[in-house]
A = this chain, B = another copy of it.
Amino acid sequence: MDEFDIIARYFAPLATMPGAFSLKDDAAAIPAWPGFDLIVTTDQIAEGTDFFKHDPPASIAKKALRVNLSDLAAKGAKPCCYLLAIALPQGVTQEWLADFAAGLADDQARYDVSLLGGDTSATEGPLAVTATAFGHIPQGRMLKRGGAKPGDAVYVTGTIGDSGGGLALLKHEKDALAQAQCDYLIARYRIPEPPVDLGPLLLGLASASVDVSDGLIGDLGHVADASRIKIEIDAAAIPRSAALKAFWGEGPDALIRAASAGDDYQIAFTADPLQDGKIQAAAAQAGVTVTRIGMVGAGKGVVLGYRGSVLAIPKPGYRHF
C-alpha cells in the first residue's frame, strides 16, 4: 500500500473536523475565533531518544501527541486539533499502523482533539514522528515563562522523575523492583500524562508557567531566566511516586535525579501564594495534584535546598547535544 492508501485507511478516519477535508486536500483550514489567539507548538519524537523500536505503536502515537498537549497545557490553552508528520521506516506492517492509529483514536476521545492534517513519507532512518498541536486562549492571555515575581510560590503538577526512572529501567541501569512498580515507571516514560484539563484553569492564577519536559530544574531555569528572578526549590517537597522512591531511594542524590530527569510532561508554574486555595480547587476540578515546592526571590537561577543546605546540581536537565 502506498501513502495514499495508508492515509485513507488509518488516518482519514481520525480527521473529523470540517477543516481537515478528510485529509483529501493540500492543506487544512482553521476558522478564526475572534477574541482568541491560536496557540501553536511542535515537538518531534524519535526512535532511540524518545521511544524504543519495539515500544507498542499505540504508546508511540500517544507520546507524540501528548508531548505537544503538554506544551499547550503549560500555556493555558485548551487543545483542539493537531497535525502529524510521520516518517515510516521500511518494514512497517499494517498491524503496526492499525495499532498506531488506535492509540491516536484513544487520545482523541480522551482529550477532545481531532487530526487536522499531516504528511506521511518513507525514511531510510529510524521512525520519527512530528506533531503540531493547536489550542485557543483569550487574546493576549497565554501563560509565559516570564512573569514570575519575587514572593510568588512555585508549584508543580503530578509526580516528577517517574519517566526518568522508567527510562533507566528500560536501559537496565538498575533493576530489582517489584513488577508493578517497574510497569508503572515504564508506562510513565512511554505514555506521559500531561495535565491537559488544568491548563486553561491556570489563566488568571499562574504568573509564569512552563512545560516540564527536559527536567524540572532545567525548565524552571527557563522561568528564572525569562522572569529575571531566582527560584528556590525545597528538594524534599518535590512530589515523587512510591515506585520512584522504591527505585531510586531517598536522600539528595535521588532528589536531584528526579529533578533533572526529562520527559515528565508536567506543568511547573508560579503564582501569588494568596491564590493557593483557588489553585488547589482548580487542581481538584482537573483531577490532578498540584504541589507547592518553592518560592520566587530576587536574583537569578534555580537553587535546590535540602535540609538547610544547598545541593550542587551536576546537570540541570536533558540536552540533545
Contacts and interface: CB of A to CB of B under 8 A. Distances in A.
Interface of A: 1-4, 6, 19, 21, 24-44, 46-49, 71-72, 74-75, 77, 83, 85, 87-88, 116-126, 128, 130, 132, 137, 139, 142, 144-145, 210-211, 222, 226, 319-321
Contacts of A36: 32
Given A26-B74, A27-B77, A32-B38, A122 B226 contact: no
A56 to B, nearest CB: 21
Nearest to A74: B26
Given A27-B72, A36-B32, A75-B27, A122 B321 contact: yes
Q: Which of A26, A124, A128 has the most CB of B within 10 A?
A: A26
A137 B32 CA distance: 11
A194 to B, nearest CB: 11
A192 to B, nearest CB: 14
A36 B33 CA distance: 10
10 closest Cβ contacts across the A-B interface?
Answer: A125-B125, A27-B41, A2-B319, A34-B34, A122-B320, A29-B37, A32-B32, A26-B71, A130-B130, A30-B38
Contacts of A125: 46, 123-126, 128
Nearest to A132: B132
A118 B27 contact: no
B32 A33 contact: yes
Contacts of A2: 319-321
A49 B121 CA distance: 9
29 contacts: A2-B319, A3-B320, A6-B321, A25-B75, A25-B142, A25-B144, A26-B71, A27-B40, A27-B74, A27-B75, A28-B40, A28-B41, A29-B38, A30-B38, A32-B32, A32-B33, A40-B116, A40-B117, A42-B130, A42-B132, A43-B85, A44-B130, A46-B121, A46-B124, A46-B125, A49-B121, A122-B321, A124-B125, A125-B128
Given A2-B320, A72-B27, A319-B3, A42 B144 contact: no
Contacts of A6: 321
Nearest to A48: B124
A137 B29 contact: yes
Contacts of A29: 37-40, 137, 142
A6 B321 CA distance: 10
Contact of A71 (B27, B48, B132): B27
Given A25-B145, A26-B75, A44 B85 contact: yes
Contact of A27 (B39, B122, B123, B319): B39
A120 B47 CA distance: 15
Contacts of A123: 46, 49, 125-126, 128
